């Protein structure tokens, strides 16, 4: 007669391979593997350190390419649009308050003031041209005009000056605002800031 083979259950019980035993082994192995792998996991980028890019220092300068013509046009158009946005916010601020804000932070506009390749700041209209690199530290709000600048450290790009002036409506006692954006070559900073004459804003020469 053929001898019957033992059932899998009987074999497992004989050799100590029970279901509860397997579960305990799986749990222990999982704990060991987790303990070994967890230090190599980067929760900030939600991935393993090997596949995560190294975070940049907060104050480190971001290297960007500004030598290509399409990129130059893109960055300059973005800077000009941002200055136009600041101008409109200053105009709205003046209509509400009767004076201009002395910093971008006072305006109802979301703008990152320090970014590459441009950074943005408000300038006092009374500053000399040599102080173009100096942000306004005035605690007084500007009554008649305000200047904003988009400045870059890349010689391939232009600076942009935004100018907003308060002007009296002819024949009335009401005030209005006039605004413009001036492009300034990197290596040719102007000798004057934008001016208002006969309700027309004149940009400084940049050549």
| DSSP codes, 142-185 | BSSEEEEEEEES-TTS-EEEEEEEEEEPTTSS-EEEEEEEEEE-
- Report the C-alpha gap between 189 and 207 in whole angstroms: 8
How does pLDDT run along the chain (207 residues), one tens digit per residue?
455 555 555 555 555 567 777 788 888 888 878 777 666 555 555 554 444 544 444 444 456 667 788 888 999 999 999 999 999 999 999 999 999 998 899 998 888 888 889 989 887 665 544 444 444 444 455 678 899 989 888 888 999 999 999 988 888 888 999 999 999 887 766 667 888 888 889 888 765
pTM over 0.85: no
* Structure-token match 């601020």, residue found: 93
Phi, psi values for residue 123, rounded to 5° = -115, 145
- Report the C-alpha gap between 12 and 110 in whole angstroms: 69
pLDDT tens for 156-169 read 899 999 999 998 88
Cis peptide, bond prior to residue 191, ω within 30 of zero: no
Closest to 119 measured CA to CA, from 156, 88, 149: 149
For the record, the structure tokens of 39 come out as 């230090």
Strands (E), the chain: 41-42, 47-48, 118-123, 145-152, 159-168, 175-184, 195-197, 200-202
Q: What are the residue boundaries of the structural domains of the chain, listed by start?
A: 11-51, 69-202
């Amino acid at each position: 007669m053929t001898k019957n083979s033992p059932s899998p259950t009987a074999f497992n019980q004989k050799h100590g391979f029970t279901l509860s035993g397997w579960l305990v082994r799986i749990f222990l192995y999982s704990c060991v593997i987790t303990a070994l792998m967890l230090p190599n996991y980067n929760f900030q980028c939600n991935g393993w350190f090997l596949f995560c890019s190294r975070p940049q220092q907060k104050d480190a300068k971001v290297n960007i390419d500004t030598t290509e013509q399409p990129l130059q046009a893109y960055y300059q158009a973005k800077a000009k649009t941002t200055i136009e946005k600041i101008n409109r916010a200053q105009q709205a601020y003046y209509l509400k308050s009767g004076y201009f804000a002395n910093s971008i932070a006072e305006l109802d506009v979301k703008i990152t003031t320090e970014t590459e390749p441009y950074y943005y700041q408000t300038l006092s209209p009374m500053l000399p041209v040599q102080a173009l690199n100096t942000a306004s530290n005035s605690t007084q709000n500007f009554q008649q005009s305000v200047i904003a600048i988009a400045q870059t450290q890349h010689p391939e790009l232009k600076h942009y000056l935004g100018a907003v002036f308060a002007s009296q409506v002819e024949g009335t006692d009401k005030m209005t605002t006039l605004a413009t954006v001036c492009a300034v070559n990197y290596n040719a900073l102007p000798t004057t800031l934008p001016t208002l004459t006969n309700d027309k804003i004149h940009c400084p020469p940049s050549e």
